[in-house]
A and B are shown apart, each in its own frame.
Chain A
Amino acid sequence: MRKFNIPHKFQLITIIELYAQWIREGKLVVSSDWNRDLKVKFTVQDPCNIARKTGSNKIVDDLRFVVKRVAGEENFVETIPNRDNNFCCGGGGGALQAGFTDQRQAYGRTKFNQIAATGADYVIAPCHNCHGQIEDIGRLYGGSYHVVHLWTIICLAMGVLGENERSYLGPDLAEVGLNRDK
């Protein structure tokens, strides 16, 4: 809209900002107690489009706030470098569909090494291109991490994640907080 100067009346925001707002306001009650003893480690992928390319770290800081609240502050590990200085995973700009698979995967090697260095069990990737690419390079380079949507971990921390909503989780979290009567 900015590029083409298209007038619009609505405001555009990301759901990450809303998650953070709802948690701060107490509308969304989450707890990281499920992970106190498990100590499952999380890192995040900062999508270029909501980090560096917005000109501010507001959204990716909200992302960290949410992840720390749902997984526990001590279970969050930063990928280095991060936020507006992050490395692109290599899945963006159409790369997943461009047909240059070898080059895309070589591009992703840097990101893979950075993620592997965190030792995290889970990568939260709030962008579909990142999600697809990080899964692909994880498989290719022998990573042991899982890639998940943020909403999955929020629902886990709310105690409402259903049995059929766990396809991205590993066996370590397959049963956590699962209440079949709800």
Chain B
Amino acid sequence: MAEAMKIDELDIRLKQEILEVLPEGNFDLCFTCGTCTGGCPASEQFDMDPRKLIRMLNLGLDEQVRKSPWIWVCSMCARCVFACPMNVDIPKLVYNLRKSVPREQRPKGIMGSCDQHIRSGNAMGVPKDDFVFTVTDVAEEIAEEQPLFKDLRVTVDRKGANMVLNQNSREPVTEPDELGPLWKILHTVGADWTYPSIMWAGENYCMFLADDEGWRYIIEEFTYHIDNNIKAPLVVNTE
């Protein structure tokens, strides 16, 4: 027969480690009501759910928690903590669990996109010149072929523009024609806008990878470029 767990003798390390960087995690406040799990679309995947994760953490089942790939299925959508009566911060727990995995053991797809972004300013690894060429080329085509939009122009790094747009790299790379409608709207309202050439993409896979250093680098480079080079008062997220 299995032996009962002796609560006073548990060796609880992972929880303490995470609470040191996440004191507002409230893991001890969980009273196992299961509201989180009832509304979690990731429940049951890999035989895991949010309530179970908290239980395992609180019982010091550190190795089993560390082994579960569930932390990469959970999308950190925050529906659990939104509903939780005790504010147990499961998404931030998941983020910190991701962070506790050695970087080279995190999912290759996410890591690749993060590394590309650090290197080239977008998750798809498109060189800056290709991005500038694509947007300029598509804009010229619209201006030539559609009389209503003959004055439509797209600029990159235009100093003094009122707004800077970021763009998910999938559009210029795989579906450039999808950019047209967005630009036509901006043109119609007379928006004074430009694209940045540095960290121009809207996505950020370093955040998903839980790579704080990479995430921070991307945001710092972007922020510096907007504030000091383009000097636009407004940044517009297009997704």
Q: Which residues of A contact B (CB under 8 A)?
A: 1, 3-4, 6-15, 18-19, 22, 27-28, 47-48, 52-53, 84-88, 90-95, 97-100, 103-104, 106-111, 126-128, 149, 151-152, 154-155, 158, 160-162, 164-165, 167-168, 181-182
Given contacts A1-B219, A8-B226, contact A161 B78 (CB under 8 A): no
Q: How many residues of B contact A (CB 8 A)?
A: 63
Contacting residues, chain A, for B238 (C-beta < 8 A): 14-15
Q: A3-B215, A18-B236, A108-B41 are in contact. List 16 more A-B contacts (CB 8 A).
A: A6-B223, A8-B226, A11-B233, A22-B189, A27-B190, A93-B76, A94-B75, A94-B208, A94-B209, A103-B46, A107-B45, A109-B41, A149-B182, A155-B185, A160-B188, A167-B175
Contacting residues, chain B, for A98 (C-beta < 8 A): 72-73, 107, 109-110
Given contacts A8-B226, A128-B170, A164-B177, contact A100 B69 (CB under 8 A): yes
How many A-B pairs fall under 8 Å by CB? 183
Which residues of chain B from 10 to 31 have a CB within 8 Å of any chain A CB?
A: none
A165 touches B181 (CB 8 A): yes
Main DSSP-derived SS at the B contact region: helix
B91 to A: closest C-beta gap in Å: 9
Nearest residue in B to A100 (C-beta to C-beta)? B73
B237 touches A155 (CB 8 A): no
Which one of A88, A94, A155 has the greatest number of beta carbons of chain B within 10 Å? A94
A151 touches B182 (CB 8 A): yes
Complex CA–CA separation, A135 to B66 (angstroms): 32
B110 touches A10 (CB 8 A): no
Contacting residues, chain A, for B41 (C-beta < 8 A): 87-88, 90, 107-111
Contacting residues, chain A, for B200 (C-beta < 8 A): none
B164: CB under 8 A from chain A?
yes
A4 touches B219 (CB 8 A): yes
B36 to A: closest C-beta gap in Å: 13
Contacting residues, chain B, for A3 (C-beta < 8 A): 215
A160 touches B148 (CB 8 A): yes
Contacting residues, chain B, for A88 (C-beta < 8 A): 41, 75, 77, 79
B209 touches A154 (CB 8 A): no
Contacting residues, chain B, for A107 (C-beta < 8 A): 41-42, 45, 73, 75
Top 9 nearest A-B pairs (CB, nearest first) are: A94-B208, A88-B77, A97-B109, A93-B75, A92-B75, A155-B181, A151-B181, A48-B77, A98-B72
Contacting residues, chain B, for A11 (C-beta < 8 A): 233-235
Given contacts A27-B190, A84-B82, A182-B147, contact A92 B77 (CB under 8 A): yes
Contacting residues, chain A, for B64 (C-beta < 8 A): none
B64 to A: closest C-beta gap in Å: 18
